[in-house]
Amino acid sequence: MLDYECGWSLSFAGCGFLGVYHIGAATCLQERAPRILRDARCIYGASAGALTGAVLVGGGSLAESCADVLALAKEARKRNLGPLHPSFNIMKIIRDGLIKNLPENTHQLVSGKLYISLTRVSDGSNVLVSDFNSKEEIIQALVCSAFVPIYCGLIPPSFRGVRYVDGGISDNLPHHASKNTITVSPFSGECDICPKSNSANFHEVNLTNTSIQFSLGNLYRLTQALFPPEPKVLGELCEQGYSDALRFLKENALQEACKEKCGFYAQLSKLLPMRVMSYLMLPYTLPVESAYSVAVRVVDWFPDIPDDVRWMQGQVYRIVGTVCSQARNKLLHACSKEGFGSLRKCYTVPPTAELHSTCCYPKIPHSSADLESWLWDFPFCTDLTGKQVSGSNEKLSESDSHLNCFTNSEESGLEMDFDSSSENSFQTASED
Among all residues, which ones are annotated catalytic? 47, 166
Go through 128-139 and write b for each residue having 16 or more CB atoms within 10 A of its CB, e for each that does not: ebeebeebebbb
Give the whole-angstrom CA distance, residue 300 versus residue 404: 105
The answer to whether residues 130 and 111 touch, using CB atoms and an 8 Å cutoff, is yes
Give the whole-angstrom CA distance, residue 76 versus residue 70: 10
Give the whole-angstrom CA distance, residue 13 versus residue 238: 15
H-helix or E-strand spanning residue 81: none
The answer to whether residues 6 and 223 touch, using CB atoms and an 8 Å cutoff, is no
The sign of the dihedral angle between the CA atoms of 230, 233, 239, 240 is negative
Q: Is 247 left (phi over 0), alpha (psi -120 to 50) or beta?
A: left
Total residues belonging to the chain: 432
Ramachandran angles phi, psi of 187, nearest 5°: -105, 140
The answer to whether residues 143 and 95 touch, using CB atoms and an 8 Å cutoff, is yes
Ramachandran angles phi, psi of 308, nearest 5°: -70, -40
Residue 256 exposed, middle or buried by CB count within 10 Å (0-12, 13-18, 19+): exposed
The answer to whether residues 90 and 72 touch, using CB atoms and an 8 Å cutoff, is yes
Residue 396 neighbours by CB under 8 Å, 6+ apart: none
Give the whole-angstrom CA distance, residue 32 versus residue 193: 15
DSSP secondary structure string for all residues of 235-271: HHHHHHHHHHHHS----HHHHHHHPPP-SHHHHHHTS
Kindly calculate the radius of gyration of the chain based on its CA atoms and give it in whole angstroms. 44
Give the whole-angstrom CA distance, residue 328 versus residue 333: 8
Give the whole-angstrom CA distance, residue 235 versus residue 256: 10
The answer to whether residues 166 and 141 touch, using CB atoms and an 8 Å cutoff, is no
The answer to whether residues 416 and 405 touch, using CB atoms and an 8 Å cutoff, is no
